[in-house]
Amino acid sequence: MLDRRLFLIALTAMTSLASASVALAADHQTYTQQAFDAAQKAGKPILVEITASWCPTCKAQKKVLGQLLPMAEHADLAVFEVDFDSQKDIVRAFGAQMQSTLITYKGTKEVGRLVGVTQADSIKQLLDTTI
């Protein structure tokens, strides 16, 4: 009985910690023109992530972003994911030539862009341009 009680206490503690880290995480969503326009109009810092499910570079970028986005300084960042394969018109509108493209905005102004970069320090520097 004691083991079950300790398990439940540990589970509750882990759930509370997970909820706290999610509260700090950036607002991550699938790209829609309406949501993107609203974020720009509100003057939010924005990251557009052009990605493909089959792309190993995109997977590496997601891993790095998974570590960086929960940081407190990125809590206000609106992150929009654009699927390279199914949202070709959006990819072209952003002027992206390939998947694994990361673009940052301060409101309506593009402030940075990386293509195919997976180094954490470079991606962090890109995200910091929006702050």
For 76-93, what is each residue's pLDDT tens digit? Answer: 999 999 999 999 999 999
Q: Whole-angstrom Cα distance, residue 51 to residue 102?
A: 9
Q: What is the pLDDT of residue 23?
A: 39
Which residues does residue 28 pair with via DSSP β-bridges, in sequence order? 79
* Per-residue burial over 73-108, b = 16 or more CB atoms within 10 Å of its CB, e = otherwise: ebeebbbbbbbbeebeebbeebebeebbbbbbbbee
Q: What is the pLDDT of residue 103?
A: 98
Can you give the residue ranges of every domain in the chain?
25-128
- Does domain 25-128 fall under CATH 3.40.30.10? My reply is yes
**Least confident interval from 9-18, 93-102, 103-112, 121-130:** 9-18
Q: How confident is the model at residue 5 (pLDDT cuts 50, 70, 90)?
A: low
pLDDT at 21 over 50: no
